[in-house]
Amino acid sequence: MSRLRTFAAAASSVPITLFGLVLVTFLIGRVMPIDPIIAIVGDHAQNDVVEAARLQLGLDRPLAVQFWLYVKLLMQGDLGRSVMTSNPVTRDIAQYFPATIELATVAILIAVAIGIPLGVLAAVRRGSWVDHGVRVFCLAGHSIPIFLLALIGLLVFYATLGWTPGTGRSDVGLEGMVPDVTGFLTIDALLARDWESLRDACAHLVLPAGVLAYFSMAYIARMTRAFMLDALSGEFVITARAKGLSAARVIWRHAFPNIAVRLVTVLALTYAGLLEGAVVTETVFGWPGLGQYLTISLLNADMNAVLGATLVIGLSYLLLNLLADAAYRLLDPRVR
Amino acid sequence: MLVDIRNLSIAFPSATGPSLAVREVSLSLGAEKLGIVGESGSGKSLTARSLLRLLPDNATVTADRLEFAGIDVLGASERVLRGIRGKRAGLILQDPKFSLNPVMTAGAQIAEAFRAHRRAGRREAKAAAIDLLAQVQIRDPARVAGAYPHELSGGMGQRVMIAMMLAPDPELLIADEPTSALDATVQAEILRLMEDLVSRRGMALMLISHDLPLVSHFCDRVAVMYAGRIVETLAAGELARAEHPYTRGLLECLPTLTHDQARLPVMARDPAWLA
């Protein structure tokens, strides 16, 4: 019961944080020294045209009133209209965000599947060539700029070897072939039992997800190694070994569950970071994701789009945090 | 002879070359209760843990003989060692707050020890765990079996630790300062419990402590360690006949109710003891 209550307390902070986020992003958007009107009507518009547009967007009203109107619409799920695409921002996001989620999810899965075992291995074989090897591998993942990695990836695996398709989410010939149900190409193809589209969607995911995964993997492996070194030095590890347990059992059943909580924090933040839209990766791979949408909107002073995208990113951070919080309670009896 | 150690030395690398933490220790143990006393850093824990080869990775161990029940521990494979650890020799550590796994229930940790060395199903192991908890005189064993270490008191935790190490029915119990982290009243209870279990099961006991009167009261023989060496081994009843000045010094430092002393003497250490 008390477990539920503490979780409810954590959850109740979400709307407050979200309100703060809306306020700050809104103010930044309005205080910026660019005139969104010019972005719409162009440099050479007549004064009366500019004024008409200003009135139409409600930009002549006091800031507080503008904010109140924005929040009122927001409560109804209306993020306004994007100047650039002239669609409602919610529709744009529904179109762009799934691409980012798909990419980020595949990337984090690869990163976890490789990063955690590597980190554990490095900690167990501390100081050996394995440890040094993992360190160099991770250092490379951390320090090679991601655009360079992406370009090298394209050059090697697409242009030279031809193992992967090029940029974009799907081949031109297959575009729009599967009905749009969830927005995730892989899932939609699966639902439509269109195996060719599924294969194509997966093939397009491999390279960008791999590049993102390498970067995240480096961080996850490094943190896992540090946490494991700490756990392995615990007295309870001596107890476990004194019981005559196998090395694998001592590592995975005794030491590893003790780092789970800290690891969940790292994973949640890494995943949130990926959801934020890997702008550079999305740009290099022509991936129509939220990062690209946000960047283009920003460059075009499309404030409704920027605000909407920022809110969605903020919301995913908050939800992941909440999820991590719930996971702590499951994983560590001391937090309950 | 259950334990036979000849000229055991344990060294650690340091900036000025290898530094010896245990120097040429020889010691043997049959079905008896041996106490090892000494101050922090005298090498008593390392000596005991070397028997299970549970030393830090950077320790270098050399010995003419390091045998447990005729098995050469130094040359033994990891597989052979796992047949000794837990199964034939249990190790109880100082503070259950740190020595129990914080994210596993007490019952699961005991059941794991039970299953590690015999074929047993989950249900059988769980029943055995509750039975073992009853044997270490825990009143509500089913509840404690489902509790996590942070929900147990120090004394309860140490009982869980004892139950865990008794699960596979070992021949030797090594207790490394088992009561140092406990309150005085709980200390006595735990020691009595250990004494009872050890004598009932006919186990050998190696009790490591820095508490000389406690060890002499509890054990058959006492080995006194100083700076990595055993300086003296005595029958517990003959403590008064100790010859080494370090042992004598320790005994003189003890306050008594009968002899009125205004100030306790401070031991004068002779550098020659290190030689």
Greater pLDDT, B26 or A51: B26
Rg of chain B (C-alpha set): 19
Is residue B211 in a domain? no
Q: Determine the pLDDT at residue B90.
A: 92
- The answer to whether A294 and A29 have CB atoms below 8 angstroms apart is no
- The answer to whether B153 and B96 have CB atoms below 8 angstroms apart is no
Contact A243 B113 (CB under 8 A): yes
Whole-angstrom CA distances from A263 to A11, A227, A251, A272 are 21, 8, 15, 14
- The answer to whether A7 and A325 have CB atoms below 8 angstroms apart is yes
Is residue B121 in a domain? yes
Structural domains for chain A: 22-75 (no CATH), 97-331 (1.10.3720.10)
Q: Give residue-wise pLDDT tens across range B50-65.
A: 999 999 888 999 999 9
Query: Which residues of chain A approach chain B closer than 8 Å at the C-beta?
Result: 126, 234-236, 238-247, 253-254, 257-258, 260, 331-334
Which residue's entry shows tokens 């575009």? Answer: A175
Average pLDDT in the A181-200 region?
82
Is residue B100 in a domain? yes
Q: Give residue-wise pLDDT tens across range B199-223.
A: 888 899 999 988 888 888 888 999 9
What is the C-alpha separation between B109 and B158, in angstroms, rounded? 13
Query: Which residues of chain B approach chain A closer than 8 Å at the C-beta?
Result: 52, 54, 57, 78, 82-87, 90-91, 93-95, 98-104, 112-113, 116-117, 148, 150-151, 161, 164-165, 168
Is residue B258 in a domain? no
What is the C-alpha separation between B11 and B19, in angstroms, rounded? 5
Greater pLDDT, B78 or B274: B78
Q: Determine the pLDDT at residue B227.
A: 87
Cβ partners under 8 Å of residue B22, min gap 6: B8, B9, B10, B43, B46, B47, B50, B228
SS3 at position A62: coil
Residue B23, Ramachandran bin (φ over 0: left; ψ between -120 and 50: alpha; else beta): beta
DSSP notation for A57-92: HTTTS-HHHHHHHHHHHHHTT---B-TTT-SBHHHH
Q: Determine the pLDDT at residue A40.
A: 72
Q: Determine the pLDDT at residue A277.
A: 63
Is residue B117 in a domain? yes
- The answer to whether B55 and B61 have CB atoms below 8 angstroms apart is yes
What is the C-alpha separation between A116 and A313, in angstroms, rounded? 26
Q: Determine the pLDDT at residue B148.
A: 93
What is the C-alpha separation between B232 and B62, in angstroms, rounded? 22
Q: Give residue-wise pLDDT tens across range A279-314.
A: 888 888 888 889 889 888 888 888 888 889 988 988
What is the C-alpha separation between B113 and B97, in angstroms, rounded? 18
Is residue B154 in a domain? yes
Query: Which token pair is B156?
Result: 């309860």
Query: What is the Cβ-side half-sphere exposure of residue B84, based on CA atoms within 13 angstroms?
Result: 24
Structural domain boundaries enclosing B149 = 89-169
Give the other-Cβ count within 10 Å of B220's Cβ: 16
DSSP notation for B127-149: HHHHHHHHHTT-SSHHHHHT--G
Q: Among A25-29, A317-321, B64-68, B267-271, which stretch is predicted with the lowest mean pLDDT?
A: B267-271
Is residue B123 in a domain? yes
Q: What is the ipTM of this complex?
A: 0.89
- The secondary structure of residue A81, as a DSSP letter, is B
DSSP notation for A269-298: HHHHHHHT--HHHHHHTT---HHHHHHHHH
| Neighbour-count burial for A149-188, b at 16+ CB within 10 Å, e otherwise | bbeebbeebbeeeeebbeeebbbeebeeebeeeeebbbbb
Average pLDDT in the A12-36 region?
82
What is the C-alpha separation between B112 and B126, in angstroms, rounded? 9
Residue A84 pLDDT exceeds 90: no
The chain A residue lying nearest B83, using CA atoms, is A244
Instruction: Nearest by CB to B86, from A235, A244, A258: name it.
Output: A244
Residue A48 pLDDT exceeds 60: yes
Q: How many domains is chain B built from? A: 1
Q: Determine the pLDDT at residue B62.
A: 92
What does pTM read for this prediction?
0.85
Is residue B111 in a domain? yes
Q: Which amino acid is at A249?
A: R
